[in-house]
Structure 1
Amino acid sequence: MCAALLSAAFLTAGNSVFAQEQKTGAESSLTPKFGIKGGLNLTNMYVKDVSDENMKVGWNAGVFAKLPVTQGFSIQPELLYTNKGAKETYNNFIEGKGEYRFNLNYVELPVLAVFNVVKNFNIQVGPYASYLVGANIKDLKDDGTINNITDLKADNFNRFDWGVAGGFGIDISNFTLGARYNYGFKEIDKSGSLSGELTKDSKNSAISLYIGIGF
């Protein structure tokens, strides 16, 4: 849905998008940029018939390249380490009251098409693929007790995830500020496993806020 909205915004901008420059005021030509970036994740796990997941705060960090194709259009591949997951509350007779906290750590590769709507403002859309490198699931009881669920590790989840990402960026000289939404297409759990019972065939969802520095 987010990607569709971003595509619609691009189409309404029309041919004026390509009239914008993909460079800073200090540059006289289209120049590739390489840089580092990092920021905050607000993540969740979504599934059609479940509504009790809660947003969890995580982080993201990595490197990027901004490769101009023509004025107003660039390709931006990135390599990120990103923390996703969710908080899921429970309240039943057997377990009592508490919260499962899923921390899922991925190495992620987005490849984004970047369109400059005006000189210092762009919209971004493209696919991403990621690989789960670590998982930590905690059981936080209402009485303050915290237990690690040792039966659930990275091998108990699907290692690969993919989806679509879309957002916007603001370029100020060599600095960039932005926000992005990632929508996962792959269930994070292995079907028929304990991870499937706890996550109910959920998929990843993440809002990322970031700052970057290009060189």
Structure 2
Amino acid sequence: MKKMMCAALLSAAFLTAGNSLFAQVQQTGAENELTPKFGIKGGLNLTNMYVKDVSDENLKVGWNAGVFAKLPVTRGFSIQPELLYTSKGAKETYNNFIEGKGEYRFNLNYIELPLLAVFNVAKNFNIHVGPYASYLIGANIKDLKDDGTINNITDLDAENFNRFDVGVAGGFGIDISNFTLGARYNYGFREIGKSGSLSGQLTKDSKNSAISLYIGLGF
């Protein structure tokens, strides 16, 4: 019985110490108090669409910029809504009977609203995950070689694509005082092109995929 009581007391002590340590490492240097933080952020996007039946597909380099709020719920855990302008798309090379032959860059520009759960898993280091919703505000397709044979593709605009997209985002951040450096992956759940249209035929049920690298400044 004494051995069982000693084991129980030791287990409780270890659990208490572990919880205390976990609570401490979740704090960052700039989060001594549970106060909201607001800031600006921006960076690069590396995007793709994974279109079927293309002879070549390459990442498109874009950018993202916007504002964020970090709203603490408890020590080491915050909710972070953001409002961003973000550019997505890809560079596609077509060479088949149905779509024709050509090399095109799809430029899709969105207003995006992520809502992220942020966990400070170590001092100055966090992971974040959550859903996002976005609205397509502009689209254009550029013929990279000016010799494309796909009829009317360069005439497509935002009205020819699905306006709304929803998806999930996840990544990590490094907090240095009020600065944040981070990387994030976004994946959309909705098809980019409208079903039964030229945009749907060209994008072949593809969805948005983006790696974002960013720097932020909180106040």
TM-score by length of 2: 0.82
Relative to structure 1, the CA distance from residue 71 to residue 199 in structure 2 (aligned partners, 3 Å threshold; closer, same or farther) is same
Equivalent pair of 2:101/2:149 in contact (CA under 8 Å): no
Q: What's the C-alpha RMSD, in Å, of the aligned pairs?
A: 7.8
Relative to structure 1, the CA distance from residue 192 to residue 111 in structure 2 (aligned partners, 3 Å threshold; closer, same or farther) is same
Cα offset, 1:28, TM superposition: 3.6
Relative to structure 1, the CA distance from residue 82 to residue 148 in structure 2 (aligned partners, 3 Å threshold; closer, same or farther) is farther
Equivalent pair of 2:27/2:122 in contact (CA under 8 Å): no
Structure 2 alignment gaps of length 5 or more: none
C-alpha deviations, 1:29-74, integer Å up to 9, x for none? 1221000000000000025776843210000000000011111100
Cα offset, 1:148, TM superposition: 8.8
Relative to structure 1, the CA distance from residue 67 to residue 185 in structure 2 (aligned partners, 3 Å threshold; closer, same or farther) is same
Relative to structure 1, the CA distance from residue 51 to residue 140 in structure 2 (aligned partners, 3 Å threshold; closer, same or farther) is closer
Q: How many residues in Structure 1 have an aligned counterpart in Structure 2?
A: 215
Equivalent pair of 1:19/1:71 in contact (CA under 8 Å): yes
Q: Distance in 2 between matches of 1:5 and 1:86?
A: 59
Q: 1:124 aligns with which of 122, 128, 136?
A: 128
Relative to structure 1, the CA distance from residue 202 to residue 176 in structure 2 (aligned partners, 3 Å threshold; closer, same or farther) is same
Is it true that 1:43 corresponds to 2:47 in the alignment? Answer: yes
C-alpha deviations, 1:58-110, integer Å up to 9, x for none? 00000000011111100000000000000001235899864110000000000
TM-score by length of 1: 0.83
Q: Distance in 1 between matches of 2:7 and 2:134?
A: 18
**Highest Rg: 1 or 2?**
2
SS at match of 1:20: helix
Relative to structure 1, the CA distance from residue 48 to residue 140 in structure 2 (aligned partners, 3 Å threshold; closer, same or farther) is closer
Equivalent pair of 2:167/2:188 in contact (CA under 8 Å): yes
Cα offset, 1:17, TM superposition: 8.9
Relative to structure 1, the CA distance from residue 65 to residue 44 in structure 2 (aligned partners, 3 Å threshold; closer, same or farther) is same
Cα offset, 1:18, TM superposition: 5.3
Q: Distance in 2 between matches of 1:155 and 1:165?
A: 26
Cα offset, 1:126, TM superposition: 0.2
SS at match of 1:144: coil
Moved over 2 A (4+): 1-18, 20-28, 46-53, 90-98, 142-151
Cα offset, 1:160, TM superposition: 0.2
C-alpha deviations, 1:117-155, integer Å up to 9, x for none? 102000000000000000011111277999994431100
Equivalent pair of 2:103/2:148 in contact (CA under 8 Å): no
